[in-house]
Amino acid sequence: MNQDQRLQAVLDKVSQYMPLEEVEVDADISDNKAFLKLVTVSCHNWAAGSIPRIGALRMTVKVPALDALTMIFYPQADSDAPIFLFFFLITGRKVISHFNVCCPFDDQAYLDKWVKPLDAIQATYPEFECMDRYPEWMKAYQHDCTVYGLFKQDRLDDLSNCSLEYLNHYLKLVAENEKTVDSERLQTIADFHDHFKEDIRTRDKAQGMTSKFIGKDKAKRIFYEVVT
């Protein structure tokens, strides 16, 4: 499965649970080529039912070979569903992968619903073990089912399949999830979304890497208008 197929598999999975609609992205940032077309950066937004924003960023580099796909799912403001993070970066020999449900609440009932079932999914695969240290700023979103790290290419199929199973579990629950009406809980959700977006905009190294290829201003716009 290449990155285009992986992206399509994600969109197909979403379409199984809710209607999917592409949201237009400003042409100035939607598709960029640089350095004699050796680098391509493209981005997309979708809306799907109770997930009003699904942002996707693709970056391909011919030399050295690099192909990255980032997708982030933001549920609506009155849903206590986690934010779903999906990332694959493929090089000639390695794959960096990160997929996670980023949770606004950490009480046991909430974790039992959104996180614990992922244990059973992950247990069907050989352990995703690596030496990489989880970035300090991401630890606020980490839990036992978080998958993150640099892996050999022979783990790519396992990582892809596991991430899609995670996504399937997530989408099923989001589609069934009831709206939150409690004002205190709504405020916690809003604060969590704001904090997550600020972290992605200011602490994620991907924006810096993107800016090297297409410029700081365009990269910033992508991370403000598409990724978050």
In sign, the C-alpha dihedral spanning 197, 91, 163, 25 is positive
Give CA separation, 83 vs 128, 180, 215, 227, in Å. 22, 15, 28, 12
User: Predicted confidence band at 66 (pLDDT cuts at 50, 70, 90)?
Assistant: confident
Among 167, 18, 14, 7, smallest CA distance to 100 is for 167
Higher pLDDT, 22 or 135: 22
116: three-class secondary structure by DSSP = helix
Among 173, 54, 174, 49, smallest CA distance to 117 is for 173
- Quick check: 81 and 48 in contact, CB under 8 A? no
pLDDT digits (tens, 9 = 90+) for 103-127: 999 999 999 999 999 999 999 999 9
pLDDT value of position 36: 57
Residue range 67-94: average pLDDT? 95
Chain-wide mean pLDDT for the chain? 91
- Quick check: 81 and 97 in contact, CB under 8 A? no
Residue ranges per structural domain of the chain: 3-225
Please name the residues in contact with 139: beta carbons below 8 A apart, sequence gap of 6 or more: none
pLDDT value of position 130: 75
pLDDT digits (tens, 9 = 90+) for 203-228: 888 888 788 778 888 888 888 888 88
Among 92, 94, 101, smallest CA distance to 72 is for 101
As assigned by CATH, the class of the 3-225 domain is alpha beta
Judge whether residue 41 has pLDDT over 60.
Answer: yes
125: three-class secondary structure by DSSP = coil
Judge whether residue 6 has pLDDT over 90.
Answer: yes
